[in-house]
Amino acid sequence: MTDEQLLAESDNRLRRELSTQQLMFISIGSMVGSGWMFAVLSASAVAGPAVILSWLIAAVLVISMALNYAETATMLPQTGASSAIHTSRTAASSAS
């Protein structure tokens, strides 16, 4: 089959499905950012070899936050729900 035939036969619509792993990594990426790369230097200067233990504890906390964030995303299946829904509900409650 040629590429054109495959494209003609395929469903060009986006599927509304993400796996738990995909949601978790999207959540971690949105929460952590790139600051952790620069924190290694200052953390190792303060804690020394114990910095590895602190990074493991932080990893457990970040994964639990990511799973909560993923659960919220499944409860509010709308585009931009992670920011739009929360801000509209907060603004609506403070306006009334």
Q: How deeply is 70 buried, as exposed, middle or buried, from its count of CB atoms within 10 A (0-12, 13-18, 19+)?
A: buried
d(CA 96, CA 91) in angstroms, rounded, equals: 9
pLDDT score of 7 more than 60: no
Phi, psi dihedrals of residue 42, rounded to the nearest 5°: -70, -35
pLDDT score of 10 more than 60: no
pLDDT tens column, 32-81: 776 776 777 788 888 888 888 988 998 899 889 888 877 877 777 766 66
Mention every residue, 6+ apart, whose C-beta is less than 8 A from residue 87: none
pLDDT score of 5 more than 80: no
3-class secondary-structure state, position 70: helix
Average pLDDT of the residues in 1-28: 71
